[in-house]
Amino acid sequence: MNVLIVGAAGYIGGAIATAAQRAGHEVAGLRHPGGHTLPEGVKAVDGDLTDAASLTIAAKGFDRVVHVGPPLGEETDLAGVDALTASGVPVIYTTGAAVLGSEPSDEDTDPDPHPLIRWRAEAERRVLAAGGQVVRPGMVYGNGGGLIAGLLAPKAAEQGVGVYIGEPGVRWPVVHAEDLADLYVTVLDRTEPGIWHGMSETVRLDELAAALGEGRTASWPLEEARAEIGGIADLFVLDQQISSTKTRNHLDWHPAHTSLLDWLRTQS
């Protein structure tokens, strides 16, 4: 297929672009003037997430659009979704675990989004109504990016201990970037609307902190974390148990990386 990736120059989008090319697809990436360099072999298509009309034009002629661009706010994000679906091209839209609440949940659970990204549940609804797909990744790691490499590991190095925000015991779903990219490639073949969970396992954030701090941990008070990293700190106290069983069974998706803590040991 001929696939346009919104966010192809980013961490997740770059992995998807590589996996899609490997699977034999022609891949293009949305790029605004002065934007980041796209991965090798990815054709640049002019467009800007803040200019909805440009997105409709950019999507025309493609077989699929994969949207893994960053959230920019309710008005901009919803206008962008509407513009992409208006092209008539099926859209694969990315939200995340935070669109669900703290109760045990799966692909069929109604969204209960965290206030930080409350509008993304509406974005999901619009994409599905237009015949598209929704992918909800867990925390993505591996390939040198993500919150672990960009925030948690540097914080552990700075403090001399692994840190977790708030109270111990909070659980998060996680997934390796390459496993997630393989899931997107599988979803490209879907023709009916669906919600898919890109989550290989659930980890306790205090146990992740222990792995990063060589057994030493400390709580990072929520107020202090908010002052340093902003509202995203509130997501770190959201305890989540999210199943990906439906995704695995329906799409025959089998992540190769099934233990984040074991993976961390191989990085040292």
One-letter amino acid for residue 179 of the chain: D
pLDDT at res. 33: 83
Q: Are residues 152 and 263 in the same domain?
A: yes
pLDDT, tens only, 136-181: 999 999 999 999 999 999 999 999 999 999 999 999 999 999 999 9
Reply yes or no on whether the pLDDT at 268 is more than 70. Answer: no
pLDDT confidence of residue 46: 95
pLDDT in tens, 216-263: 999 999 999 999 999 999 999 999 999 999 999 999 999 999 999 999
Angstrom distances, CA of residue 60 to CA of 7, 51, 76, 83, 215: 17, 15, 20, 11, 52
| Contact by Cβ (8 Å): 94, 137 | yes
Q: What are phi and psi of 201, to 5 degrees?
A: -165, 175
Q: What is the pLDDT of residue 267?
A: 87
CATH code, domain carrying 25: 3.40.50.720
Mean pLDDT of 101-117: 94
d(CA 144, CA 148): 9
Q: Do residues 103 and 192 both lie within one domain?
A: yes
- Residue found under tokens 């120059």: 9
**SS3 category, 26:** strand
Secondary structure of residue 137 in the 3-state scheme: strand
Between 267 and 2, where is the model more confident?
2
Domain assignment present for residue 112? The answer is: yes
Distance CA 230, CA 224 (A): 9
Residues 169 and 179 in one domain: no
Cα angle 140, 230, 237; round to 5:
60
Please name which of 138, 104, 108, 42 lies closest in space to residue 241, comparing C-alpha atoms.
104
The pLDDT mean for the chain works out to 96
Q: Is the same domain home to 63 and 145?
A: no
Query: What average pLDDT does range 63-91 have in this prediction?
Result: 97
CA-angle at 228, arms to 221 and 77, nearest 5°: 110
Q: Is the pLDDT of residue 79 over 70?
A: yes
The pLDDT of residue 35: 82
Give the tens place of pLDDT for each residue, 7-58: 999 999 999 999 999 999 999 999 988 888 999 999 999 999 999 999 999 9
Residues 94 and 151 in one domain: no
Mean pLDDT for 124-135 is: 98
- Here the tokens at position 11 are 């961490």
Task: Say yes or no to pLDDT of 127 above 90.
Answer: yes
Task: Write down the pLDDT at residue 244.
Answer: 98
pLDDT single digits (tens) 190-207: 999 999 999 999 999 999
Q: Is 158 exposed, middle or buried (0-12, 13-18, 19+ CB in 10 A)?
A: exposed
Domain span at 229: 140-174+201-242+257-267
Nearest to 98 by CA among 166, 148, 172: 172
**Number of domains present in the structure of the chain:** 2
- Ranges of beta strands (E only) in the chain are 2-6, 26-31, 43-46, 64-67, 91-94, 133-137, 139-141, 162-165, 171-176, 194-198, 201-204, 217-220
